[in-house]
Chains A and B, each alone.
Chain A
Amino acid sequence: VGSTFDSLMLGFSVALQPGVLWYAFLGCVVGTLVGVLPGIGPLSGISILLPVTFGLDATKAIVMLAGIYYGSQYGGSTTSILMRIPGEASSVMTCIDGYAMAKKGRAGSALCIAAVGSWIAGTFGVLMLTVIAPPLAAFALKFGPPEYTALLVLGLIFLAYMSSTSLPRTLLMAAVGILLGTIGTDMTGHFRYSFDISELGDGIGIVPVAVGLFGLGEILSTPSASVTGQVLTPKMRELLPTREEWRQSAMPIARGSILGFLIGLTPGSAHIISSFLSYAVERRFSKHPEEFGHGAVAGVAGPESANNAASTGAFVPMLALGLPTGPITAVLMAALMIHGIPPGPTLVSDHPDVFWGFVASMYVGNVMLLALNLPLVGIFVNVLRIPYSYLYPLVIMFCIIGVYTVNNSVVDVWIMLIMGVLGYVLRKFSLDPAPLVLGLVISPTFELSLRQSLIMSNGDYLIFFQRPIALVLMVIAATLLTLSGISLLRKRADWRAKLAEAEAGEPSA
Chain B
Amino acid sequence: MILRTDHVAGGVAIAAGLLVWAASGDLPFGRLSMPGAGMLPKLCCSLMILLGLVLIVRAGDSAPFSTIEWGDLRHAVPVVVLTAVAVALYTTLGFIITFSLLMFGLLAIERRNLIAAAAYSVGVSVGTDVLFSIVLKSPLEAGLLGF
B54, A392: Cβ atoms under 8 Å? no
Which A residue's beta carbon lies closest to that of B40?
A: A447
Name the 5 nearest CB pairs between A and B, nearest first: A459-B33, A459-B32, A190-B37, A223-B75, A389-B110
A positions within 8 Å CB-CB of B: 51-52, 54-55, 166, 168-169, 171-172, 175-176, 178-179, 182, 186, 188, 190, 192-193, 216, 219-226, 389-390, 392-394, 396-397, 400-401, 404-405, 410, 413-414, 417, 420-421, 424, 428-431, 443, 446-447, 450-451, 454-455, 458-461, 488, 491
A180 nearest in chain B by CB position: B44
A168 and B35 in contact, given A175-B47, A179-B45, A223-B72 (Cβ under 8 angstroms): no
Tell me which of B24, B87, B112 contacts A413 (CB under 8 A).
Answer: B87
Contacts of A168 in B (CB 8 A): 51, 54-55, 58
Known: A172-B52, A175-B44. A410 touches B87 (CB 8 A): yes
Tell me if A188 and B32 are in contact (CB < 8 A): no
Given known A168-B55, A172-B52, A397-B102, contact A55–B137 (CB-CB < 8 A): yes
Q: Choose from A176, A178, A225, A417 the contact partner of B84 (Cβ within 8 Å).
A: A417
Contacts of B20 in A (CB 8 A): 179, 193
Which B residues touch A389, using CB under 8 A? Answer: 107, 110, 112
Which residues of the other chain, A, contact B45 by a CB distance below 8 angstroms? Answer: 179
Q: Which residue of chain B has its CB nearest to the CB of A444? A: B40
Whether A179 and B132, one on each chain, are in contact in the complex, defined by CB atoms closer than 8 angstroms, is no
For the complex, what is the distance from the CA of A393 to the CA of B78, rounded to whole Å?
Answer: 12
Q: B76, A190: Cβ atoms under 8 Å?
A: no
- Which residues of chain B in 76-128 are interfacial with respect to chain A, using CB atoms and an 8 Å cutoff? 76, 79-80, 83-84, 86-87, 90-91, 95, 99, 102-103, 106-107, 110, 112, 120-121, 124-125, 128
A-B contact pairs, 15 of them (CB 8 A): A55-B136, A172-B47, A176-B16, A188-B37, A190-B36, A223-B71, A392-B106, A397-B102, A400-B99, A413-B90, A424-B76, A428-B70, A451-B39, A455-B33, A458-B33
Q: Which residues of A contact B35 (CB under 8 A)?
A: 450-451, 454-455
The reply to whether B79 and A404 form a contact with Cβ atoms under 8 Å apart is no
Interchain CA distance A221-B69 in the complex, whole Å: 11
What is the interface of chain A mostly: helix, strand, loop, or mixed? helix
Label chain B's interface by main secondary structure. helix
Residues of A within 8 A of B99 (CB): 397, 400
Q: What's the least CB distance linking A54 to chain B, in Å?
A: 8
Residues of B within 8 A of A171 (CB): 47, 51
Q: How many A-B residue pairs have CB under 8 A?
A: 162
Cross-chain contact B48 with A429 (CB below 8 angstroms): no
Whether A417 pairs with B80 at a CB distance below 8 angstroms is: yes
Do A176 and B48 have beta carbons less than 8 Å apart? yes
Q: Is the CB of A393 within 8 A of B91?
A: no
Shortest beta-carbon distance from B45 to chain A in Å: 7
Q: Does B143 contact A (CB under 8 A)?
A: no
Shortest Cβ distance from residue A419 to the other chain B in the assembled complex, whole angstroms? 12
How many residues of chain B have a CB within 8 Å of chain A? 68
Segment 29-79 of B: residues with Cβ below 8 Å from A: 31-41, 44-45, 47-48, 51-52, 54-55, 58, 61-63, 68, 70-72, 74-76, 79
Contact between chains at B72 and A220 (CB < 8 Å): yes
Q: Does B15 make an interface contact (CB < 8 A)? A: no
CA distance A454 to B140 in the complex (A): 46
> Is B142 on the interface with A (CB-CB < 8 A)?
no
Across-interface contacts of A414 in B (CB, < 8 A):
87
Give Cα A447 to B112, complex, Å. 50
Q: How far is the CB of B40 from chain A (nearest CB, A)?
A: 5
**B128: chain A residues within 8 A (beta carbon):** 397, 401
CB nearest neighbor in B for A452: B35
Shortest beta-carbon distance from A433 to chain B in Å: 13
Report A38 CB to chain B, min CB distance, Å: 15
State whether A417 touches B48 (Cβ < 8 A).
Answer: no
Contact check, A169 vs B55: say whether CB atoms are below 8 A apart.
yes
Closest to A390 in B: B120
B9: Cβ under 8 A from any A Cβ? yes
Q: Is the beta-carbon distance between A429 and B9 smaller than 8 angstroms?
A: yes
Tell me which residues across on chain A come within 8 A of B8, comparing CB atoms.
429
C-alpha spacing A428/B40, complex, angstroms: 29
Checking A193, A394, A417 against B124 with a beta-carbon cut-off of 8 angstroms, the contacting residue is A394
Q: Once the chains bind, are B34 and A455 in contact (CB under 8 Å)?
A: yes
Given contacts A172-B47, A397-B125, A451-B39, could you give 11 more A-B pairs where the C-beta distance is less than 8 Å?
A: A52-B138, A175-B44, A178-B44, A179-B41, A182-B41, A190-B27, A222-B72, A225-B75, A430-B5, A446-B40, A459-B32
Q: What distance in Å separates the Cβ of B53 from its nearest Cβ neighbour in chain A?
A: 9
Q: Most B CB atoms within 10 A — which of A171, A175, A216, A392?
A: A175
Asked whether B33 lies within 8 Å of A404 as measured between CB atoms, the reply is no
Nearest CB in chain A to that of B137: its residue: A55
Tell me which residues across on chain A come within 8 A of B24, comparing CB atoms. Answer: 192-193
* A455 to B51 alpha-carbon distance, docked (Å): 28
| Complex CA distance for A190 and B24, rounded to whole angstroms | 11
Contact A390 B90 (CB under 8 A): no
